[in-house]
Amino acid sequence: MPSVEDCRAFFNEYSEAVIFHFAKKVEKPKDRVPWSRDISKKLIKLEREVFWAGYHKAFVLFMDECRFCEACTGTREECINKEEARPGPESLAVDVFSTVRSIGYPIEVLKNYDDEMNRYAFLMVD
């Protein structure tokens, strides 16, 4: 993980962020994985479209861990999917709870798996 200072430098390179809200109820905890993977794949496609539209620093932060591979190697150096792997906002020192609450979005710590999740992804643009 980068230092907080490195994270701050990263975010200072961007002038805008788009926040995506995804709400979902799942029956079992493992049901979250395919749902999250599908959204991450769609976010990567959107990031590419934004890049092709002229925003060459477009970069998406997933709402969850990457999940493209069944078993993560755990390091960027060993990653087998480097072109599509992206971090979650928390891994770059983003306080997701405070950030989304400041713009009126709902977010709570869930006490039960049958509660609706409110998940957030960020698309950085400059």
pLDDT digits (tens, 9 = 90+) for 54-68: 999 999 999 988 778
pLDDT digits (tens, 9 = 90+) for 92-125: 999 999 999 999 999 999 888 889 999 999 999 9
- Nearest alpha-carbon partner for 19 in 108, 83, 107: 107
Number of domains into which the chain is organized: 1
Is the pLDDT at 27 greater than 80, yes or no?
A: yes
Provide the pLDDT confidence category of residue 82 given band limits of 50, 70 and 90: confident
Is the pLDDT at 1 greater than 80, yes or no?
A: no
Q: Which domain, by its residues, includes 79? A: 4-125
- Nearest alpha-carbon partner for 42 in 125, 121, 124, 117: 121
| Phi (first) and psi of residue 50, to 5 degrees | -65, -40
pLDDT digits (tens, 9 = 90+) for 35-45: 999 999 999 99
